[in-house]
Structure 1
Amino acid sequence: MSSLCGRRLGFVSWGAVFAAFVLTPACDRSTAIRKPAQASSVRDDRPSFVILLADDLGWGDVGYHGSEIQTPNIDALARTGVRLEQFYVLPICSPTRAALLTGRYPMRYGLQAAVLKPFSEAALPVEERTLAEVLRGAGYATAMVGKWHLGHYSPHFRPEARGFDYFYGCYEGRTDHFMHAMWSRNGQPVLDEGYSTDRIADEAVRLLQERDAARPMFLFVSFTAPHEPLQAPDAAIRKYRHVADARRRVYMAMVDRMDEAIGRIVAAVDDAGMRDNTLIAFLSDNGATEDYGGDNGPLSRGKGSLYEGGVRSPAILNWPARLAPAVEQRPLHVVDVFPTLLGLARIAPDDGRPLDGVDLWPFLTAETAPPHEELLLNVTPWDGALRIGDWKYFERRREGKRFRRLYNLRDDPAERVDLAEQYPQRLEQMAARLAEYRAQSAELIAKPMRRPEDRPVEANP
């Protein structure tokens, strides 16, 4: 084992760890996906879904984007699937996961501004219906392995209560990759040995092998890599011993190992005879942190930023039986996953909450108009960004001042040239539209530990 960052549990005490699990009502210790009380003997022919979510993966850190990191399995998904080259997520972990599972911008329920801290009393509001809840209610077997990071203070906040028949992994946002002190299986603590990426793959493969073939399946694989702490097996690190920067070397090894895990999971889908009727989606929750070895390619900034390096993710949809290989350059968003999967599952959402995402399937399989006229990249009390067509508006508020930028992403994807002065009318129109979104925002339920407006103004915000 190799590690560049020491193990720590932050401010969480072992007493709190004990209380979180032992004082929780008894949970299912089974390793199998729960079955409905009245199972049907008729085989359900609706498609299965496998979502593969990387944690802090840079846009430039996959082989098909020119990376030196060896990612043959991700590259194979890209080569035989649809590459979504302008796919947007939120700039940090919890908001993206919330958007993925609800199909709604996190500003609708106050989760757009910060990640959920360990043992925070905040969570994805229980009023928000998750993708897993809808699919399970319609007869799908639902399972999640890996990182949750949407609240666990109350058992009602945890994945077992949010639509997943089965959960194995960590509730928190940061975990030691070798010491699984905070991991659980269906609410019960586990102390499994091994590297976290390998354990996640082991569990995903087992679930695919043991699934109920009569039911379609939703499997959410939420990797903890390559999020810091920078840790990887020695064998993986040795593959990149020629890389001088120690942080970059371990980061590359983490991505490499995740790619191997993805290869195992895809192979399990094939071996289970599911491939022709399964949509596989691959994406990251946000951009990489360059201080921890990540590379966002030609895009500006990284994790935590509303510049493209923070919110544009490598993304793939792969279903060779139904989707021809393609490179899609039009802007799409993580909120689109929810309605797209529901459309394929022939389910109409019925809880009355309007979705921000749209069903991408007609757009991907036929010559139809772009699905979005505009995309909200995020909005908080202190910053925000909006995309309309090729134009991107960005604003930041600091020390009572507002800094605004306008970019044409078709001509300037790296956001080097600010066009605010050349196009003042467009600037004001997009600023007004962002203000409308801000006015619609719910009260924040999670706030940064230090308010961004208190930080020094950057020379180039």
Structure 2
Amino acid sequence: MRPALLQLFCILTIALLLVDPAAARPKTPNIVLILVDDLGWSDLGAYGSEIPTPNLDSLAAAGLRFTQFHNHAKCFPSRAALLTGLYPQQVNRAERAYTPMTDAATIASSLKAAGYRTLMVGKHHGIENPISFGFDRYRGLRDGAANHFNPGPRARPGEPPPARKRVRTWCFDGDCTNTYQPPDPQFYSTDAYTDWAIEFLRETRSRQPIQPFLLYLAYQAPHDPLQAPAANVHKFAGQYRQGYASIARARYARMRATGLIDDSFALPAPTYRTWSTLSAAERREQTLRMQVYAAMIDRLDENIGRLVEFLQAGDLFDNTLILFMSDNGASAEWVLTGTPPREIGHTHPIGSVGRWASLGPDWAGVANTPYRFYKNYSHQGGVATPLIAHWPTGIKQPGRIVHEPGYFLDIHPTLLAVTGAVYTGGPAGATADLPGADLSPLLHKDVTIKRPQPIFQRWQHSRSVRDGRWKLVSHAEGKTAEAGTWALYDMQRDKTETRDLAAHHPAIVARLAGAYDRWHARFAKPATDAD
């Protein structure tokens, strides 16, 4: 090309970009995966909650809400499945968090090979730096739960020692440390993760050539310790004095009124205590626990609003697929120490930097309304998560409620489909080794997703098999999962698992139990400890 023509071509190209910002955007969608920690199924306004979550509700109203989406009942197995699209048992992350994750091609490595800038912020819950899994940038908590106000090993001036279970490792790109001590007295994990995510996105937008991006934003909240800024806690003063049943019934009524659920979601018998049987002191304490928990969710929603505002201001919002989900159901676990067992820092107020307070089983049962049980169970209360999908240029008929079952295993093949990327864990373009399904057709209309095989779950004492309408599930507290007695549920008619049909359909039980035994025999192997 002659110099004069080349100069004219460059001038016209620059002018086009200045006139039409869309010309500068990647044609393939940006991806934002937002994963929260220990959120109950009914903890968002769009899913029936009294907790105001206007930013997430707005995404749901202009996108899709899933009622039958599933994680893996526990933090680190869920995260392994989400990242890889493989069962946790396939990547050595089924039993213990601190084992090396093996044979792990991730969504980051697949999208990076397709030209994506890959970013991760927040909780990983493993021993690896996510940089080794295909992320260009990573900043966050490499380990499990940590103090939200001060994850460091020492007290800051004017504060008590931070409540903590153990020393945690944080990574800042290639540098990892177990002595991270935020100097800012206003540090709060949810705020910091959003700040870092926006920083990474701002940097990505400034790079040339322009790349589409994957942002995996893994918040710690509302996982314990129950801690939130005072301004958010004050919003909910007195709101939970009426007790468990009142809140649960109101949530269920809102779900029915808004059309989120139908008659196939029966409200099971409550697992929480009768409020009037609690002493006045217990009621005050329980009220405060839920108040702080609600404040954590409120703060989450505020920060997601900040992220959305950044995407909108940068002309990125319309071509960004946002997926929001939780790694398991609300948690009934207590973190206790000493004799007699008490919460870490029990002399400090609930919600403060010095106290590791937990939600407990009563409020966890409310948070998972209408499902039964909690985190660590393969029943719906443990594995059902809200899923909100939002993508203005990619979702047709927004506002739909999707009842088609989906799983964390489906995220990797779905992202391959919507981005045109290929799976980096097998032959070019081959996804046959991924057990999940491509859910991208659901972005356009309600369809039935055909699965060539059942979906299996196993964590500690629980296990399940889901094949179409049928779910086989068991839980053996204190024993291995295989010691449990199978129960069978028709998930078309009984999505909350209230009627065990095992005695009525022995052939179905035998078929699904046999499928589980074969799957378990294939993948059950001792986890390999890290050096």
TM over 0.5: yes
Which 5+ residue runs of structure 1 have no aligned equivalent?
Answer: 1-41, 152-156, 448-461
Residue 302 of structure 1 is aligned with which of 368, 371, 374? 374
Whether 1:191 and 2:181 are equivalent positions in the alignment is: yes
Which residue does the alignment assign to 1:228?
A: 224
For residues 343-387 of structure 1, the C-alpha deviation after alignment (integer angstroms, 9 at most, x for no partner) is 222112143271012221124325654243654241368642011
AA aligned opposite 2:193: I
Whether 1:332 and 2:406 are equivalent positions in the alignment is: yes
Which residue does the alignment assign to 1:424?
A: 506
Whether 1:387 and 2:466 are equivalent positions in the alignment is: yes
CA distance in 2 between counterparts of 1:43 and 1:419 reads 53
CA distance in 2 between counterparts of 1:108 and 1:101 reads 13
1:191, CA displacement in angstroms?
3.2
CA distance in 2 between counterparts of 1:332 and 1:163 reads 25
Which 5+ residue runs of structure 2 have no aligned equivalent?
Answer: 1-23, 153-168, 242-286, 334-358
CA distance in 1 between counterparts of 2:450 and 2:34 reads 23
1:409, CA displacement in angstroms?
2.2
1:43, CA displacement in angstroms?
6.9
For residue 139 of structure 1, give the secondary structure of its aligned residue in structure 2: coil
CA distance in 1 between counterparts of 2:383 and 2:454 reads 12
Residue 149 of structure 2 is aligned with which of 178, 189, 194? 178
8 A Cα contact 1:374 1:386, kept in partner: no
Which residue does the alignment assign to 1:356?
A: 435
Comparing both structures, which one devotes a greater share of its residues to helix?
2
For residue 304 of structure 2, give the secondary structure of its aligned residue in structure 1: helix
Whether 1:412 and 2:481 are equivalent positions in the alignment is: no
Distance verdict in 2 for CA 1:94–1:305, change over 3 Å? same
Residue 76 of structure 1 is aligned with which of 47, 50, 58? 58
For residue 204 of structure 2, give the secondary structure of its aligned residue in structure 1: coil
CA distance in 1 between counterparts of 2:489 and 2:196 reads 44
Residue 124 of structure 1 is aligned with which of 79, 85, 101? 101
Question: Map of 1:46-65 to 2, 5 A cutoff?
Answer: 46-65=28-47
Residue 129 of structure 2 is aligned with which of 140, 155, 158? 158
Which residue does the alignment assign to 1:206?
A: 199
Which residue does the alignment assign to 1:274?
A: 316
Distance verdict in 2 for CA 1:51–1:381, change over 3 Å? closer
Worse overlay, 209-218 or 142-151:
209-218
8 A Cα contact 1:52 1:282, kept in partner: yes
For residues 396-443 of structure 1, the C-alpha deviation after alignment (integer angstroms, 9 at most, x for no partner) is 454895411111122222212211111111111111111111111142
Which residue does the alignment assign to 1:3?
A: none
8 A Cα contact 1:134 1:349, kept in partner: yes
Worse overlay, 296-305 or 415-424:
415-424
AA aligned opposite 1:95: P
Residue 378 of structure 1 is aligned with which of 450, 457, 463? 457
AA aligned opposite 2:217: V
For residues 85-113 of structure 1, the C-alpha deviation after alignment (integer angstroms, 9 at most, x for no partner) is 10011000111111111111112233223
Whether 1:261 and 2:308 are equivalent positions in the alignment is: no
The structure that has the greater radius of gyration is 2
CA distance in 2 between counterparts of 1:402 and 1:207 reads 46
8 A Cα contact 2:124 2:218, kept in partner: yes
Worse overlay, 65-74 or 366-375:
366-375
AA aligned opposite 2:328: N
AA aligned opposite 1:90: H
Q: Once superposed, what is the RMSD of the aligned Cα atoms? A: 2.2
CA distance in 1 between counterparts of 2:324 and 2:88 reads 21
1:203, CA displacement in angstroms?
1.1
CA distance in 1 between counterparts of 2:295 and 2:484 reads 41
1:135, CA displacement in angstroms?
1.4
8 A Cα contact 1:373 1:389, kept in partner: no
| Residue identity (%) | 36
How many residue pairs get aligned? The number is 396
Which residue does the alignment assign to 2:244?
A: none
Which residue does the alignment assign to 1:35?
A: none
Worse overlay, 141-150 or 284-293:
284-293
For residue 211 of structure 1, give the secondary structure of its aligned residue in structure 2: helix
Whether 1:113 and 2:90 are equivalent positions in the alignment is: no
Which residue does the alignment assign to 2:420?
A: 346
Whether 1:146 and 2:220 are equivalent positions in the alignment is: no
AA aligned opposite 1:296: N
Residue 96 of structure 1 is aligned with which of 58, 63, 78? 78
AA aligned opposite 2:492: R
AA aligned opposite 1:267: E
AA aligned opposite 2:214: F
CA distance in 2 between counterparts of 1:68 and 1:159 reads 36
Which residue does the alignment assign to 1:22?
A: none
TM-score (norm 1): 0.81
AA aligned opposite 2:73: P
AA aligned opposite 2:322: I
For residues 119-172 of structure 1, the C-alpha deviation after alignment (integer angstroms, 9 at most, x for no partner) is x3x1322x2111111212222111111101122xxxxx2111111111111111
Which residue does the alignment assign to 1:287?
A: 329
Which residue does the alignment assign to 1:239?
A: 235
1:209, CA displacement in angstroms?
2.5
AA aligned opposite 1:134: S
CA distance in 2 between counterparts of 1:60 and 1:280 reads 20
